[in-house]
Structure 1
Amino acid sequence: MKNTWIIIAVVAILSLGAGFIGGWFSYQAYLAASLQSVAEDLQDGVPDEDSPLDDDTAPTPDSEGAPQPQGPPEPASASDGVFEYAVTGTDRSGTYKDDDLGEAYRAGGEFVIISISAGHVGNSPASPAAAAGEITAYDADGRSYAPFSDHLPYVDEVNPGNTATYSVVFDVPKGTELVVLQMSGYEAPDVATIGATESGRTSG
């Protein structure tokens, strides 16, 4: 009887050992299969060194560098709703003398002096566009320029039907060609966009 219990105990121990060993090998097989699957997924996700980049990841010329100017606005209307403007002459100079104030200025680059005629087409006294914030000049590439801040043209109020003449000064890099002016007096409802014809004459 005692030998029978010993045999039963040995068989039980062997069965447990066999089950443990079988389970361990099964776990190792499962772990190996999982690692292989992960390695295959990672390999599939890495692009081939010889394969070109996808179209949506390749750099394009448009995405490189700063935005480029799109050109100046097209001349459209000479009137801002109060005045009708025209360029009557241009000049270039390295210096500019303000006769009204008795001041002389030297350009950081080159002064472009544009003579303006402003005819009043409104119904009450008003002042034409003459200062920074009321006039913007553009070159052929669409770069914009403000009037020279040290020079403020003094223009009296103009009665309806009358015309004022004055000059606007721009300090620009040498050789800059201004091609378009946008003008709008502080009382005006619209914006005048006209061509800025330069004579190319140089002085000073």
Structure 2
Amino acid sequence: MSDQPQNQTPPAESKKKRHKWPWILGGLAVVLIIIIAVVATSGSDDQQTATNGSNGDPQQAQQQPPPEQEQAQEQAEAGIGQPVRDGKFEFTVEGVERAPSVGDDAVMTEQAQGEFAILTMTVRNIGDEAQPLSDTDQYVYDAAGRQYSADSMAGLAITGNDVFLNPINPGNSVTGKVVFDVPAGTELVRAELHDSAFSDGVTVNLE
């Protein structure tokens, strides 16, 4: 009996697998392109807004000074009777008077080399702690730009003018006189007031 060859069924061909990664990469590329386009558009809008300013006028936005500069300009233009601030003090110059001497008696009388320019001012403590006021930190200038320092002895000769000896508490105000010995007839144009020797100071026009 001869061996009959057995019919063998050929193995079924495996179905070709479809790779999904090209589609995934394509989708990611599309998403990335969309994100880049959105970011670029948003950045362009922000730049245009910053250039044009809030009212869409680039020239006006460029000319508008920052708040700090506006405040400094306002203080630089302040005059007699207008309050200005430096550090913890708010100064208001009430007026300037002239006298050849100061003092109420022979013991406490000071004679000027030229004439005394007496600066009356009110000082308010706008800080949160007590601080003394020194007359030696205050200056006046003439039209030629020359600086004059205070005469402390002449200031003490004025009765009741002891505001430079006691600290000023927060919220309190004091009125005192700062005395300057200047050549007779000197035209004083501005005062430079400081809350301390280390402050920037603030200017008051005296003209």
Shorter-chain-normalised TM-score: which range?
0.5 to 0.7
Deviations 1:164-187 (A, max 9, x none): 110001111111121211121337
Inter-partner Cα distance in structure 2 for 1:105 and 1:148: 10
Alignment of 1:89 with 2:95, yes or no, is yes
Out of 149, 154, 158, the residue aligned to residue 151 of structure 1 is 154
**TM-score, normalized by length of structure 2?**
0.52
Residue identity (%)? 34
Inter-partner Cα distance in structure 2 for 1:92 and 1:174: 9
Q: Equivalent residue of 2:76, what SS?
A: coil
1:99-118 → structure 2 map (5 Å cutoff): 103-118=108-123
Q: CA deviation at 1:75?
A: 2.8
Backbone CA RMSD of aligned residues: 2.5
Inter-partner Cα distance in structure 2 for 1:142 and 1:115: 21
Inter-partner Cα distance in structure 2 for 1:121 and 1:187: 18
Give the partner amino acid of 2:205.
G
**TM-score, normalized by length of structure 1?**
0.52
Deviations 1:134-192 (A, max 9, x none): 01110122111011242355322111111111000111111112121112133764412
The match for 1:183 is 193
The structure whose residues are more often helix, as a share, is 2
User: Is residue 92–residue 111 contact of structure 1 (8 Å, CA) maintained in 2?
Assistant: yes
The match for 1:43 is none
- By relative contact order (CA 8 Å, sep 6+), the higher-ranking structure is 1
CA, structure 1 residues 94+152, in 2 after alignment: closer, same or farther (shift >3 Å)? closer
Inter-partner Cα distance in structure 1 for 2:167 and 2:188: 27
CA, structure 1 residues 189+144, in 2 after alignment: closer, same or farther (shift >3 Å)? closer
| Structure 1 unmatched runs, 5+ | 1-73, 198-204
